[in-house]
Every structure is written in structure tokens, then in C-alpha cells.
């Protein structure tokens, strides 16, 4: 299976997202492309975090004991196109508790 970029589309003024079957197929392709890609896309799919928040994560943001991820920064591009780590869109950091099934691969 070829691993490709997915662009959400608008249908009747709303984003069209993957169905459960489409997501399973995509994640299967991601797994075939390597464990790192699979893990990143799985976390995106099940956590609701934005791509910039995911890219800015550090190991200190992950708490395996409480099965949570602390979202306290995001990667953005500044006006010169340079990558910059900043606070997320909201002023409070977010803590996402990941269901046990999401930790299992």
C-alpha cells in the first residue's frame, strides 16, 4: 500500500473525515511505513490534537503512568516561514487522557 497525504475535503460545507474502515486502512498503511509514522498518526486520530501540537511534543509531555499527554505548546511558522514553538491557541494547557486501547498497538 502506498503511503500518501490525506487532504480533508468539504462536503455540504463540512469537513469529510475518514470513516472507521478508511481510518483502519490508513493506519494499516502507516504501520507498514514504520512504527514511528503509525504511532504519530494513531495519536492524531485518537487524541484530537492538532499536527503542530503533536510535532512540538517532548517525552516530558507524556505520562505513561496516568496514560495522558500534556499539550502545552505548538509548532507554527512565523511570518518568515521559520518553525517556531509557541503556546497553544488556548491560554491553558490541555491534558488529554488517552484510553487504554489507544496505548495498545
What average pLDDT values come out for the chain (105 residues) when binned by 10 residues?
A: 51 74 89 88 84 90 85 89 84 65 54
> Euclidean distance between the first and final Cα of the chain, in Å?
19
**CB proximity list for 82: less than 8 A, separation 6 or greater:** none
- 21 burial (CB, 10 Å; 0-12 / 13-18 / 19+) is exposed
Overall pTM > 0.75? no
pLDDT score at 67: 81
Q: Rounded distance, CA 73 to CA 105, Å?
A: 26
What is the reported pLDDT for 58? Answer: 92
How confident is the model at residue 56, as a pLDDT? 92
Q: What is the pLDDT of residue 70?
A: 86
Q: Give me the pLDDT at residue 72, please.
A: 87
Helix ranges, 1-105 (H) = 20-33, 35-47, 51-55, 100-103
Amino acid at each position: 500500500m502506498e503511503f500518501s497525504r490525506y487532504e480533508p475535503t468539504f462536503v455540504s460545507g463540512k469537513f469529510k473525515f475518514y470513516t472507521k474502515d478508511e481510518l483502519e486502512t490508513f493506519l494499516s498503511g502507516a504501520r507498514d511505513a514504520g512504527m514511528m509514522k503509525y504511532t504519530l498518526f494513531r495519536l492524531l486520530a485518537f487524541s484530537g490534537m492538532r499536527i503542530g501540537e503533536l510535532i512540538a511534543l517532548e517525552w516530558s509531555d507524556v505520562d505513561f503512568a496516568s496514560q495522558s499527554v500534556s499539550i502545552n505548546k505548538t509548532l507554527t511558522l512565523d511570518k518568515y516561514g521559520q518553525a517556531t514553538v509557541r503556546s497553544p491557541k488556548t491560554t491553558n494547557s490541555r491534558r488529554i487522557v488517552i484510553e487504554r486501547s489507544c496505548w495498545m498497538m
